[in-house]
Structure 1
Amino acid sequence: MSTKGAVALIVGLVVVGVGVVVGDRFAASLVEDQLAGQVESRLEVTGTPDVQIGGFPFLTQLASGTFSHVTADVDAVVLDGVPTTDVTVDARGVRRGDPITVDELEASLTLPVSAVQDAVAERTGLAVTVVVQGEQLQASMDVLGVPLAVTFAPRVEGGRLLVDTTSLSLGGLSVDAASLPGGLGDRLVDLEVPVDGLPDGLALTDAHVVTDGVRVTVAGTDVTLEAP
Structure 2
Amino acid sequence: MRALRILLIIAVVLGGIFVAADRIAVNMAESEAADKIKSSQGLSSTPEISIKGFPFLTQVVGKELDEVDVSLAGITATAGGRSVNVTEVKAELRSVRIDSSFSSAVADRADGSARISYADLTKAAPRGATVSYAGADRAAKGQVKVTGPLADLLEGAGISVPEAFKGMLNGRMVTTYSTVALKGGSTVQLKAESLPNLPVGLDDKLRRVVDYDMKIDGMPSSIKLDKVAATDGGLRFSGTGTNVSLAG
> What is the match of residue 214 of structure 1?
235
SS in 1 for 2:12: helix
Gaps of at least 5 residues in structure 2 are 155-160
> What is the match of residue 176 of structure 2?
150
Conserved 8 A contact 1:206-1:216: yes
Residues of 1 paired with 2:214 and 2:63: CA distance? 37
Conserved 8 A contact 1:36-1:49: yes
Q: 1:1-228 alignment to 2 at 5 Å?
A: 3-40=1-38, 42-45=42-45, 49-79=47-77, 81-97=83-99, 100-113=105-118, 116-117=121-122, 120-121=125-126, 126-134=127-135, 135=139, 136-141=144-149, 142=151, 143=154, 144=161, 145=166, 146=169, 147-156=173-182, 159=185, 161-169=188-196, 174=197, 180-182=203-205, 184-185=206-207, 188-189=210-211, 191-196=212-217, 197-200=219-222, 202-211=224-233, 213-220=234-241, 222-225=242-245, 227-228=247-248
Conserved 8 A contact 1:36-1:51: yes
Conserved 8 A contact 2:190-2:213: yes
Using the TM superposition, give the Cα deviation of residue 167 of structure 1 relative to its aligned residue in structure 2, in angstroms: 3.8
Q: 1:84 to 1:22 in 2, by over 3 A?
A: same
Using the TM superposition, give the Cα deviation of residue 130 of structure 1 relative to its aligned residue in structure 2, in angstroms: 2.4
Residues of 1 paired with 2:68 and 2:107: CA distance? 10
Structure scoring higher RCO (CA < 8 A, sep ≥ 6) equals: 2
Task: Point out 4+ residue stretches in structure 1 off by more than 6 angstroms.
Answer: none
Code of the residue aligned with 2:207 in structure 1: it is G
SS in 2 for 1:164: strand
Using the TM superposition, give the Cα deviation of residue 29 of structure 1 relative to its aligned residue in structure 2, in angstroms: 0.5
Q: 1:76 to 1:62 in 2, by over 3 A?
A: same
Residues of 2 paired with 1:64 and 1:117: CA distance? 48
Q: 1:18 to 1:140 in 2, by over 3 A?
A: same
**Structure (1 or 2) with the greater strand fraction:** 1
Conserved 8 A contact 1:76-1:87: no
Using the TM superposition, give the Cα deviation of residue 19 of structure 1 relative to its aligned residue in structure 2, in angstroms: 1.1
Using the TM superposition, give the Cα deviation of residue 215 of structure 1 relative to its aligned residue in structure 2, in angstroms: 1.5
Using the TM superposition, give the Cα deviation of residue 53 of structure 1 relative to its aligned residue in structure 2, in angstroms: 0.4
Conserved 8 A contact 2:225-2:239: yes
Code of the residue aligned with 1:207 in structure 2: it is A
SS in 2 for 1:94: strand
Residues of 1 paired with 2:191 and 2:2: CA distance? 74
Residues of 2 paired with 1:23 and 1:30: CA distance? 11
Residues of 1 paired with 2:44 and 2:226: CA distance? 22
Residues of 2 paired with 1:208 and 1:139: CA distance? 16
Using the TM superposition, give the Cα deviation of residue 23 of structure 1 relative to its aligned residue in structure 2, in angstroms: 0.3
Identity %: 22
Using the TM superposition, give the Cα deviation of residue 84 of structure 1 relative to its aligned residue in structure 2, in angstroms: 0.9
Conserved 8 A contact 1:66-1:96: yes
Conserved 8 A contact 1:40-1:49: yes
Code of the residue aligned with 2:43 in structure 1: it is L
Residues of 2 paired with 1:100 and 1:114: CA distance? 36
Residues of 2 paired with 1:167 and 1:96: CA distance? 53
Gaps of at least 5 residues in structure 1 are none
SS in 1 for 2:51: strand
- TM-score normalized by the length of structure 2: 0.68
Residues of 1 paired with 2:225 and 2:204: CA distance? 36
Count of equivalent residues: 211
RMSD, matched Cα: 3.2
